[in-house]
Amino acid sequence: MLIALDVGSYQTRVAVAGKSEVLCEPSLVANCWSLPQAVAVGQIAVPIMQRAPERIQVFQPVSQAHLAAPGAVQEQLRQMLRRQGLRSWSRPSGRLVLPSVASPLERKQWAELLKDLGFSSVRIVQMPVAVAWGSSAGDPAVAVVDIGATTSEMALVAADVVLRRSIRWGGDDLETALQRCLYQEHGLEVSQATARLLKHQISCWADHWPGQSLEVRGRELASGLPIYRDVPVASLGQALIEPLQRLLELIRSVLDQMPPLLAESVLQQGLMLTGGAAYLQGLEAYLKEQVDLPVQRAPRPIESGVLGALRVRPELALEP
What pLDDT was estimated at residue 180?
Answer: 98
What does the alpha-carbon distance between residue 68 and residue 31 come to, in Å, rounded to a whole number?
14
- For the whole model, what pTM was predicted? 0.87
Q: What percent of the chain has pLDDT over 90?
A: 63
Note the pLDDT tens digit of each residue in 171-204: 999 999 999 999 999 999 999 889 999 999 999 8
193 burial (CB, 10 Å; 0-12 / 13-18 / 19+) is: exposed
What pLDDT was estimated at residue 102?
Answer: 86
Q: How many Cβ atoms are within 10 Å of 124's Cβ, its own excluded?
A: 25
What does the alpha-carbon distance between residue 98 and residue 278 come to, in Å, rounded to a whole number?
20
| Per-residue pLDDT band at 34 (split at 50, 70, 90) | low
Sign of the torsion formed by the C-alpha atoms of 236, 242, 245 and 246: negative
Q: Mean pLDDT, to the nearest integer, of 117-125?
A: 94
- Starting at the edge strand found earlier in the chain, the sheet holding 121-126 runs 22-26, 11-16, 2-7, 93-98, 121-126
Note the pLDDT tens digit of each residue in 246-275: 999 999 999 999 999 999 999 999 999 999
The DSSP secondary structure of 129-165, one letter per residue, reads HHHHHHS-SSSPPSEEEEE-SS-EEEEEEESEEEEEE
Note the pLDDT tens digit of each residue in 14-24: 999 998 889 99
What pLDDT was estimated at residue 65?
Answer: 77
At what angle are helices 192-199 and 171-186 packed, to 10 degrees? 110
pLDDT at 50 over 70: no
Please compute, for residue 16, the number of CA atoms within 13 A of its CA located in the half-sphere on the CB side: 14
Q: Which domains does the chain have, with CATH numbers?
A: 2-133+307-316 (3.30.420.40), 139-170+244-299 (3.30.420.40), 172-239 (3.90.640.10)
Question: Residue 87's Cα: distance from chain center in Å?
Answer: 28
Asked whether the beta carbons of 163 and 23 are under 8 A apart, the reply is no
256 burial (CB, 10 Å; 0-12 / 13-18 / 19+) is: exposed
> CA separation (Å) from 124 to 84, 91, 94, 128, 140?
21, 17, 9, 12, 18
CA angle 307/168/7 to nearest 5° reads 30
